[in-house]
Amino acid sequence: MDEGSVVANLANDLGLDVKTLSKRKMRLDIISNKKYLEVNKDTGELYILEKMDREYLCSSKTATTCFIKMEITLENPVRIFNIEIEITDINDNSPQFRRDTIHLDVSESAPTGERFSLSNAVDPDTGTNSIKTYYLSESEQFDIEIQTGRDGSKFTDLILKKPLDREEQAVHNLILTAVDGGVPPRSGTASILVRVLDTNDNAPQFDKKNYTINLSENSPIGSLVVKLNATDLDEGSNSELEYTFSLYTSEKTQETFSLNSNTGEIRVKEMINYEDFRIYEMEIIAKDKGVNSLSGQCKVTILVTDMNDNHPEISIKSFHSPIKENAAVDTVIAVISVSDKDSGENGQVDIHISDQLPFALKESSDNYYELVVAEPLDREKVPEYDIAITVTDRGSPPLSDNETITLELLDVNDNVPRFPQTFYTIPVMENNAPGALLSSLTALDPDLHENQYLVYFIIEKDIANTSMSMLFSINPENGNLYALKTFDYEIEKEFLFHIEARDSGVPALSSNVTVHIIIKDQNDNTPHIVSPWRAHGSVVEEKIPRSTDKGTLIAKVIAIDKDSVQNSRITYQFLQNTDATLFSLDQYNGEIRTMRMFSYRDARHQRLVVIAKDNGEPALSATVTIKLSTVETALKAYSDMTEIPLEYDIFSDLNLYLVIGLGSVSFLLLITILVTVVLKCQKPKPSKAAPPCRNSVISERNSTIADSTLVSNDAYWYSLFLAETRKGKLVVRQPVPKGTRYIVSSIPRSTGLTETSDSAASTLQV
């Protein structure tokens, strides 16, 4: 019933005055249950407070009735009424099976009428609303029988009404339906899966009762004759078959053929000869492995057919091995005979070898053949040949035989040693250690033994009266090339020579290769400062007037480096500068110039330390110290540009003269001395050149400085600092190795005096 529905009027049923219910504090107490009901104190009506489920309130299936007990309590005077409310059932639950699928295993040999218990359905409703009956889906083999228990519940049994045959239908799918007695009725279903268990009720059967097989004689042992196949409709061990010969099969047949008991394969067990037996008969039994085993049988007839069963034969009468690889064409290597015991076409034999081989077969007489060389041989390509000789008769099918002979070739010295390269360029860093390994020059010779053993030589060649074998050495066994001395890039830059590889054959063969040794430069030469020239130690003293203008060239530092490329590039830097605002140094040409004019605050003595550093790794350097003294009057300083150390040095006296000249103002006397020295050093010529002199050239210079060019013996050019004289510029050649002479050239100036400008450039030798 819905919530709010009136169940009864307690005031009328209990004879109570409705008007006094509230005053008497009427209340409803439900015992042992949730409060599903309530009393209206104004009307005395008992109504439903919450919907009730009979199956929940009275879960016991044994109870046919369901009650709710309650008490009505009134005060003034106190009265208590006991009330029972009966809950009547409605059909609100469907029947339900405990399992949706019921599995049954039934033997196919089960007798008709055998019963199988099924789990029953459950319906929480009672009375007529509970399960009333069961229904089974349509089946020819099964039916159900409904029974009633003591408590009135319905259950059913599955009954076999017709024999089962697993081979026809192995599984039966049935549907069981339970229906209750409510209005309208409700139902529930479950699937019944009946699996029919196999029994050994089927005998094995062969595909055919009689088999006739044609078999060629001399069939290989183990070859398949026939595979028999029997089937058994049963399953499991009842369908597993075993094949055997029957007692009616002869022992000769069983010795000639084998029968696989598991697969039914009949194979050749012994050689079959048509001339011995032409027909073999056998009876095969197939028996299953069931408890009560059943069997089936068939008859097999084997007809042996005649064939070409004699193979041709090969006989090697003569064979020469090894032979030299330079054997001439048509040289006989072997003599071969062939034969076949058959007759007619079966006895006619054809012989051949592979067309890829450099050999040929020539018939010499009946059934005799010669194996000869057909093409030139080369052991380095193929050291030996496996010659397969095949003979085939003309039978049907043809039979063949083959024989393989191995021909070895002896080596002949017919290959020249070969270097991997025709030209080797080997870079060698200078200052190498004597005996250092430069490279390994290995040649290859595909010949064998002594024809393969190589010896290496350096082909003699003199360079500057020095034999190449004094500079280099080669290991005659492995071709390792060694340096016998330490090389200096500044003296020797490259070597070009040949190396020969010669084998030990007769006659010996050889080849050579060109080797180009390139000496690589190392930064092993320190820069050498050639200007300004230093009379003693590394300190140069110069005097300049204090009135020198800004940008005036004070001095020029020139250094040379015997190394090459990067190692000879020189840069100049101040290592020490008394006044950084007074002088500047060009890092590339070494010119020292004034950055401003001298002031009264500037010190009279300035100390400049210049470092000349090359571009090698690591860098090498040289330094020069220049002491500058300022004088109030413009004095002409004396300086030399390039001096060759001689037995005595006049520049120390010159400096003394300069000091005396400055002190005594004897300028004319100093000029006289300088002219005298120049005249002594000049070589008398019609062109008024200076006479020879052992001393170095000294020229008076003014404040103007010029550049000239120094040519070294190794064809490199360097910029040199030279003093410009009244007569012209001086060009000095770079000092050359000991034993040679210095060349000094005088180049006339365009504005020079008549005595020098009118004459050609002269040369002074010191």
d(CA 404, CA 705): 99
Q: Do domains 205-305 and 423-520 have the same CATH topology?
A: yes
Let me know the angle formed at the C-alpha of 271 by 269 and 275, rounded to the nearest 5 degrees. Answer: 135
Query: What CATH class has 96-197?
Result: mainly beta
Residue 635: both structure tokens together: 């004095």
283 vs 259, 332, 402, CA distance in Å?
A: 11, 61, 41
User: Residues of 31-44 as b/e, b for ≥16 C-beta within 10 angstroms?
Assistant: eeeeebbbbbbeeb
Dist. CA 646–CA 656, nearest whole Å: 19
Is the per-residue pLDDT at 478 higher than 70?
A: yes
Backbone angles phi, psi at 54, to 5 degrees: -60, -40
The CATH architecture to which 5-87 belongs is Sandwich (2.60)
pLDDT given for residue 663 in this prediction: 64
Axis-axis angle for helices 651-664, 667-681 (nearest 10): 160
SS3 of residue 655 by DSSP:
helix
Q: How confident is the model at residue 682 (pLDDT cuts 50, 70, 90)?
A: low
The predicted-structure confidence for 150-175, as pLDDT tens digits, reads as follows: 777 888 888 998 888 888 888 999 99
Q: Please, what is the average pLDDT of the chain?
A: 79
Mean local confidence (pLDDT), 397-406? 89
Neighbours of 626 (CB within 10 A): 21
Q: How far apart are CA 383 and CA 377, in angstroms?
A: 9
Residue 13: both structure tokens together: 């049923």
Residue 677: pLDDT over 60? yes
**DSSP state string for 732-764:** EPPP-STT---EEEEEE-TT--HHHHTSPPEEE
pLDDT at 713 over 80: no
- The CATH number that domain 313-410 falls under is 2.60.40.60
Over 70: is that where the pLDDT of 635 sits?
Answer: no
What's the confidence (pLDDT) of residue 718?
33
Identify each DSSP E strand in 381-464 by its residue range: 384-393, 400-410, 423-429, 437-440, 454-459, 462-463
- For the chain, which residues make up each domain, given as ranges? 5-87, 96-197, 205-305, 313-410, 423-520, 528-631
What is the pLDDT at residue 702? 33
* CB distance 188 to 178 below 8 Å: yes
Helix, strand or coil, per DSSP, at residue 352:
strand
| The CATH number of the domain covering residues in 423-520 | 2.60.40.60
Alpha carbon distance 631, 572 (integer Å): 27
pLDDT digits (tens, 9 = 90+) for 166-199: 888 889 999 999 998 888 898 999 999 999 888 8
- Contact between residue 627 and residue 544 where contact means Cβ atoms under 8 Å apart: no
Summarised one tens digit per residue, pLDDT across range 593-625 is 988 888 878 888 888 888 888 888 888 888 888
For 514-537, write each residue's pLDDT tens digit. Answer: 999 998 888 888 888 888 877 555
Using CA atoms, how far residue 707 sits from 556, 562, 722, 723, in Å, is 9, 20, 6, 8
The rounded distance, in Å, linking the Cα atoms of 232 and 211 is 19
Question: Which phi and psi (to 5°) does residue 251 adopt?
Answer: -65, -35
Question: What percentage of the chain has pLDDT greater than the value 70?
Answer: 82
Asked if pLDDT for residue 743 goes beyond 60, the answer is no
Residue (of 699, 692, 709) closest to 673 by Cα position? 699
* Cα 723 to Cα 708: distance, rounded to the nearest angstrom: 9
**Mean pLDDT throughout 706-710?**
32
Residue 674 binned pLDDT confidence (cut-offs 50, 70, 90): confident
Confirm if 407 and 387 have CB atoms less than 8 A apart: yes
Pick from 114, 116, 164: which is nearest to 139 by CA?
A: 164
Residue 735 has pLDDT above 90, yes or no: no
- Using pLDDT thresholds of 50, 70 and 90, give the confidence band for residue 699: very low
State residue 270's pLDDT score: 92
pLDDT in tens, 205-219: 999 999 999 998 888
Q: Among residues 223, 740, 721, 741, which one has the least CA distance to residue 731?
A: 721
Determine the distance from the C-alpha atom of residue 681 to the mean position of all C-alpha atoms in its chain, rounded to a whole number. Answer: 80
Query: Comparing 271-275, 378-382, 452-456, which segment has the lowest mean pLDDT?
Result: 271-275
Q: Are 352 and 338 in contact (CB under 8 A)?
A: no
- Is 259 a residue whose pLDDT tops 90? yes
Instruction: Determine which helix (DSSP H) or strand (DSSP E) holds 252, and give its type and residue range.
Output: helix 251-256
Residue with more model confidence, 238 or 466: 238
Residue 658: pLDDT band with limits 50, 70, 90: low
| Cα–Cα dist 435/487, whole Å | 12
Q: How many angstroms separate the CA atoms of 624 and 576, rounded? A: 10
What is the pLDDT at residue 766? 27
Residue 652, pLDDT > 50, answer no
Residues 721, 722, 724, 730, CA torsion sign? negative
Please, what CATH class does the domain formed by 528-631 belong to? Answer: mainly beta
3-state class (DSSP) for residue 657: helix
| pLDDT range class, residue 76, cuts 50, 70, 90 | confident
Cα 370 from Cα 351, distance rounded (Å): 11
Domain 205-305 has CATH 2.60.40.60: yes
CA distances from 310 to 184, 217, 346, 393 (A): 95, 11, 8, 9
